[in-house]
Amino acid sequence: MDNKYRTLGEFIIENQASFQYSSGELSKLINALRLAAKVVNHEVNKAGLVDIIGGAGDTNVQGEDQQKLDVLANEKFIQTLKNREIVCGIASEEEDDFISINSQDENHQNKYIVLIDPLDGSSNIDVNVSVGSIFSIYRRITPVGTPVTLEDFLQPGINQVAAGYVIYGTSTMLVYTTGHGVNGFTLNPAMGTFYLSHPDMSFPETGRIYSMNEGNYVHFPQGVKDYIKYCQMEEGDRPYTSRYIGSLVSDFHRNMIKGGIYIYPKSSVASNGKLRLLYECNPMAFLAEQANGKATDGYRRIMEIQPTELHQRVPFFCGSSKMVEKAESFMAKYA
Ligand code: AHG
Ligand code: MN
Ligand code: MN
């Protein structure tokens, strides 16, 4: 079939056989995430119309202001996954602890767990700027039929079976990988159908965009400060262009298409940076590597880090391989 007319539903079915443990369970799970994406998309699109924007007056486990849409997106994702009884556990950036799901059907013993950042870039919601959702899927380690434990969630990123994001931008897209490259699907809002619009997505080997919150410059490690100066220097294809949306999904998506690097380093005020290893860095690292890019903490491959806690943070350097390697070379000088 011409790629132009291939829907996400068809793509999932066609590619089911390529999964390592093909039983249809992962396909059902991705279908459920597809549905959740449409539901959250609907909520995001009416954010400016109804009284759901602004703080919910609650703070999440990491002490950040929780926006109402964060809560809503969290509920929608969890509810969609629970209703379909296709996972045995869920962990969310917005929940203090992981959720264990006991299937009603004794014979239906699910083996997948999902980790989600239901609404990424929440500071952009009430100013009508692109936000996203991120998901990461693993097979459980503990035996099926027993309740999931923390161990099932604290797996290194290399164990991911699938990962992806939804970007609620000028169009809504779902971009994901099951370890066989990265494909992007654009939602046709009139039909409510995702179409394969970006087959085989790939980071250009190098690019001219650097994305970081330079307002924090004084707090950055010397290696990052030096790399920023390198980006700004007039030489060869430099100075580079600075682009920072403040929603990882959107910054990553642009850099993957155009070529670029995203950095959220550690700083003198945040020793591990800000981004969460399990909900943000691992899924984006899996996508980056599947799209010929790189993701490290400045020194180590993100996906090889052994997590020790659910809401762990980690410095993040991600994007075009040559650019990440260049930034790492500056970091190495002060290691
Ligand atoms: P979230 O909205 O899920 O809390 O994530 C926001 C993250 C990430 O998406 C973004 O790149 C970064 O925080 C922005 O942080 P700063 O405002 O510190 O630059
Ligand atoms: Mn986030
Ligand atoms: Mn979030």
Q: Which residues contact 54 (CB under 8 A, 6 or more apart)?
A: 67, 68, 126
Radius of gyration of the chain (CA): 19
Domain residue limits, the chain? 3-198, 209-332
Ligand 1 in contact with 43 (CB < 6 A)? Answer: no
Residues 163 and 261: their CA atoms lie apart, in Å, by: 20
pLDDT number for residue 237: 96
124 lines ligand 1 (CB under 6 A): no
CATH of span 209-332: 3.40.190.80
> In 21-138, which residue ranges form alpha helices assigned H by DSSP?
25-45, 68-83
Q: Which of 254, 227, 205, 202 is nearest to 317 (CA)?
A: 227
pLDDT value at residue 162? 96
CA dihedral in degrees (242, 244, 245, 248; nearest 10)?
Answer: 130
Q: Which ligand has the minimum distance to the alpha carbon of residue 264?
A: 1
* Domain boundaries 3-198, corresponding CATH code: 3.30.540.10
Residues found in the chain: 335
Q: Which residues surround ligand 3, an ion (CB under 5 A)?
A: 93, 117, 119-120
Q: Which atom of ligand 1 is nearest to the CA of 249?
A: 9
Ligand nearest to the CA of 276: 2
With cut-offs at 50, 70 and 90, classify the pLDDT of residue 74. Answer: very high
Residue appearing with tokens 């239901």: 118
Q: Which tens digits make up the pLDDT trace of 294-329? A: 999 999 999 999 999 999 999 999 999 999 999 999
* DSSP string covering 264-302: E---SS-TT-SSBIIIIIHHHHHHHHHTTEEEESSSSBG
Whole-model pTM?
Answer: 0.94
- What pLDDT, on a 0 to 100 scale, did the predictor assign at position 250? 98
Mean pLDDT of 8-22: 81
